[in-house]
Copies of this chain bind each other. A is one copy, B any other.
Amino acid sequence: MSKTFQLVGIGNAMVDVLSHCDDAFLAENGVEKGIMQLIDMDRGIALYERIGPATEMSGGSAANTIAGFAHLGGRAAYVGKVKDDQLGRIFVHDLRAQGVRYEVPLAPRSEAQETGRCIVLVTPDGERSMNTYLGVTEHLAPSDIDPAMMADAEWIFLEGYRFDGPESHEAFAKAIGAAKAAGGKVALTLSDPFCIERHHAAFARMIRDDVDLLFANRAEIEAMYGTEMDAALEAAADEVETVVCTESEHGAHIVRGSARVHCPAVPTEVVDATGAGDLFAAGFLWGMVGGHDLETCGMMGNIAASEVISHLGARVEADLIERFRAFGLKV
């Protein structure tokens, strides 16, 4: 009997606050370009006061993946904590409107912290520099994990960023245990080289013991294995069934056992790189659950990524199935 969910994602539930700026603004305000920095609420308020007019759109790395997977018609759920405030209701709406089943109860209004948000500063080159105030999403705990739901998922998809939350290590363990016991598989995205440095041992243990499908970009897999990309891919492939490494305009490298596939990127004018990796994972996973070969999965990932970087925001807008067909993929 097929499971209710093809994919259940667990990650940081965030609303993105997107604003344009130049490189000088990043430098003046101590924002490191192209990475994610965790900030506290005071820093968030101070930075927000300095940025220009902004646009608010639902984000969150795994949530972007899950929204893209649901957009493709996949049966998906998402677990991540928001508060019952205006931004929290926006976040839930945008996932549900995409066909995602949203499961974690809203943190009550009495909760002091607000729904998490990420100030995404987009420079003219399309690069994004992320400043994340986690808010209530920091506290995702084992009690937020429903084992029955995890057991009813073909894949669970874990967001590396969540390693920054101490209780989330346990939450991940609980989710993995329930999923694996029911024959489910585990995908992990490494998220960020600095997050890997902060929690290297925990990442290493999970990859070795539990992960079936690993997503990373070049900087992340190199940080994880302490060596350059090709050697890191080999090392990862010794531990994990399928390893996928994206390398921006150089496309995606996929390794499974002795098989190695390279999928060239889809040439695109980059408006906002936010969500590129997330949507790559959405397309790739959708290919996997559909039983496609690795090359097709990689192409689906690249096409999905190219759509999301062509406009502001980290959620897919155009019809991806149509795009898959335009590239000659059988869907």
From A48-56, A141-149, A192-200, A280-288, the one touching the partner chain is A48-56
Q: Which of A137-168 contact B (CB under 8 A)?
A: none
CA distance A87 to B15 in the complex (A): 12
Cβ of A122 to closest chain B Cβ, rounded Å: 12
CA distance A54 to B94 in the complex (A): 6
Q: Which of A55-90 contact B (CB under 8 A)?
A: 55-58, 67, 85-87, 90
Contact partner of A114 (CB less than 8 A), chosen from B57, B86, B94, is B86
Given known contacts A85-B86, A86-B87, A86-B114, is B53 in contact with A97 (CB within 8 Å)? Answer: yes
Copies of this chain held together in the complex? 2
Chain B residue with the shortest CB-CB distance to A96: B49
CA distance A98 to B98 in the complex (A): 32
Check A97 against B55 for contact (C-beta < 8 Å). no
- Over the window 20-53 of chain A, the binary record of Cβ atoms lying under 8 Å from chain B Cβ atoms (1 yes, 0 no) is 1000000000000000000000000000110111
Check B53 against A67 for contact (C-beta < 8 Å). yes
Q: Does A315 contact B (CB under 8 A)?
A: yes
CA distance A54 to B93 in the complex (A): 8
Chain B residue with the shortest CB-CB distance to A117: B86
Chain B residue with the shortest CB-CB distance to A67: B53
**A54 neighbours in B (Cβ, 8 Å):** 90, 93-94, 97
Contact partner of A98 (CB less than 8 A), chosen from B53, B93, B315, is B53
Check B58 against A57 for contact (C-beta < 8 Å). no
Check A53 against B94 for contact (C-beta < 8 Å). yes
Chain B residue with the shortest CB-CB distance to A114: B86
Q: Does A298 contact B (CB under 8 A)?
A: no
CA distance A93 to B57 in the complex (A): 16
Chain B residue with the shortest CB-CB distance to A313: B55
Given contacts A54-B94, A55-B57, 4 further A-B contacts (CB under 8 A): A51-B97, A52-B97, A55-B56, A86-B87
Which residues does A use to contact B, with CB under 8 Å?
Answer: 20, 48-49, 51-58, 67, 85-87, 90, 93-94, 97-98, 114-115, 313, 315, 317
Sampled A-B contacts (30; CB under 8 Å): A20-B317, A48-B93, A49-B93, A51-B97, A52-B97, A52-B98, A53-B58, A53-B67, A53-B93, A53-B94, A53-B97, A53-B98, A53-B315, A54-B90, A54-B93, A54-B94, A54-B97, A55-B55, A55-B56, A55-B57, A55-B313, A56-B56, A56-B57, A56-B90, A85-B85, A85-B86, A86-B86, A86-B87, A86-B114, A86-B115
Which 10 A-B pairs rank lowest in CB-CB distance, beginning with the nearest?
A56-B56, A53-B94, A86-B86, A52-B97, A53-B97, A55-B57, A86-B87, A53-B98, A53-B315, A55-B55
